[in-house]
């Protein structure tokens, strides 16, 4: 593999504690396989996250206070500076360990005892969907980028009514807006989440149409955002967004919807709110409110 986990023993931790930093993982995303042997490269480094390119996917080492991701490894570190990771460094994955560094790794993340969060399965929409979406819209107002709502509504209209215009519309959305993950892309992630997590085949069909139309445009956005859009197209989303959509569909726990809205919006400067705007645009068309049907 090119990297050797020198000094690590499966039951004893590090036999050479000064040779490398041992870091414990606390939570793993549902999309990760940390057992199979493979290699990767450090893609990008931030204060609270280190992204790793593994095969065609992007894994993320997270500081303890960050929200879980589908391809995320949340650690017990308060920030990621201690990892000392540099762009382009080799990464080795094997038997529940992730080693970072060329030659003998200088950091090893132990994932063997980490818990794995499991996404909830889609289920039928409970009465009150319109009320829940109204609460989400009120929370998002003023928090997302000023152009996000219009972009999401235009993409939704094209997807539903004028599919031939969808590629041209998406060309004005992918990569558009501020941020490392541009706001237009964040809105598309929210739209894909609402579609992929809906229980109907109609929603899955439209999710596939949207994903296929986005794929040729990924070169026009940032590399980081392109990875996240590919994950969303496959049905992989951040835990906060996944749980928000589940709560919108059926908010069975008192107060949980407000908590999940707050967690989703807290992602990034505007990324979470932009994704929520995407959910708001598409959800009314694919989550029929049983209460409204009964009243009619």
- Pair of tokens at residue 293: 């049907």
* pTM: predicted TM-score of the whole model, two decimal places: 0.90
- The conformation of residue 208, written as its DSSP 8-state character, comes to H
- For 147-162, letters b (16+ CB in 10 Å) and e give bbbebbbbbbebbeee
Q: Which residue has the tokens 């959800």?
A: 283
Q: Which of 254, 54, 286, 47 is nearest to 190 (CA)?
A: 286
The mean of the pLDDT values for the chain is: 90
Element (H or E) spanning 97, and its range? strand 97-100
Answer whether residue 55 shows pLDDT above 80.
Answer: yes
Residue pair 52/40 in contact by the 8 Å Cβ criterion:
yes
- Mean pLDDT, rounded, for 16-35: 86
Banded model confidence at residue 124, pLDDT cuts 50, 70, 90: confident
pLDDT tens track for 226-245: 999 999 999 999 999 999 99
Instruction: Give the pLDDT of residue 234.
Output: 96
- Cα-based distances in Å from 54 to 40, 76, 92, 144, 215: 4, 22, 9, 31, 19
Structure tokens at 83: 């990892």
């Amino acid at each position: 593999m090119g990297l050797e986990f020198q000094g690590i023993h499966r039951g004893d931790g590090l036999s050479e504690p000064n040779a490398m930093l041992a870091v414990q993982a606390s939570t793993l995303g549902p999309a990760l396989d940390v057992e199979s042997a493979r290699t990767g490269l450090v893609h990008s480094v931030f204060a609270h996250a280190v992204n790793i390119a593994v095969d065609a996917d992007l894994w993320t080492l997270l500081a303890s206070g960050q929200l879980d991701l589908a391809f995320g490894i949340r650690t017990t570190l308060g920030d990621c500076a201690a990892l000392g990771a540099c762009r382009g460094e080799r990464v080795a994955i094997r038997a529940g360990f992730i080693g970072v560094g060329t030659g003998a790794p200088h950091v090893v993340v132990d994932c063997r005892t980490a818990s794995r969060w499991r996404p909830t399965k889609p289920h039928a929409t409970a009465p009150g969907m319109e009320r829940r979406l109204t609460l989400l819209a009120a929370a998002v107002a003023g928090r997302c980028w000023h152009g996000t709502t219009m972009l999401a509504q235009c993409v939704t209209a094209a997807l539903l009514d004028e599919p031939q215009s969808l590629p041209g519309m998406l060309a004005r959305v992918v990569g558009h807006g501020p941020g490392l993950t541009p706001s237009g892309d964040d809105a598309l992630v929210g739209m894909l989440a609402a579609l992929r997590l809906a229980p109907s085949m109609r929603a899955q069909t439209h999710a596939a149409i949207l994903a296929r139309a986005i794929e040729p445009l990924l070169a026009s956005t940032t590399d980081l955002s392109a990875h996240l859009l590919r994950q969303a197209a496959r049905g992989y989303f951040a835990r906060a967004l996944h749980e928000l959509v589940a709560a919108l569909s059926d908010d069975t726990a008192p107060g949980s919807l407000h908590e999940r809205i707050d967690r989703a919006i807290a992602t990034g400067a505007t990324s979470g709110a932009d994704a929520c705007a995407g959910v708001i645009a598409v959800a009314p068309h694919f989550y029929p409110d049983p209460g409204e049907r009964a009243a009619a």
